[in-house]
Amino acid sequence: QGLKPIVSTESPALIFGTTTKLASDLPATDSFLGKNKVPDLQKLFQKADGLPVHLKRGVPDKLLYRTTMALTIGGTIYCLVALYMASQPRNQ
């Protein structure tokens, strides 16, 4: 719409103010088991692109969603057929 995004794309202020001591604040352990990617991910997931949270990451989310849908909907149809067949009387 040409409007500025409602949500700021800068790293948002800490929700709980300045008294929070972030785990990443400790310099000595900064590189222990990887660096902090949370601010980048916060920017990504707060992009004003109108996508719902379960599809926010794009292609990998869509693939997983479609796979789950195929399995559950396909499975439900298979289930109804199997239950229908199981409910048929067996001839002696």
| Residue ranges that bind another protein, judged by CB under 8 A | 6, 12, 14-16, 19-26, 29, 32-34, 36-38, 41-42, 44-46, 52-54, 56, 64-65, 67-69, 71-73, 75-76, 78-79, 82-83, 86
CB of 88 vs another protein, minimal distance in Å: 12
One-letter identity of residue 90: R
Taking the complex as a whole, the smallest distance from the CB of residue 19 to another protein amounts, in Å, to 8
Using the minimum distance from each CB to another protein, give the nearer residue, 32 or 92: 32
The answer to whether 11 and 42 are in contact (CB under 8 A) is yes
Q: 35-68 b/e with 16+ CB inside 10 Å = b?
A: eeeeeeeeeeebeeeeeeeeeeeeeeeeeeeeee
> Cα 36 to chain center, whole Å?
19
- For residue 92, the minimal CB distance to another protein (Å) is 18
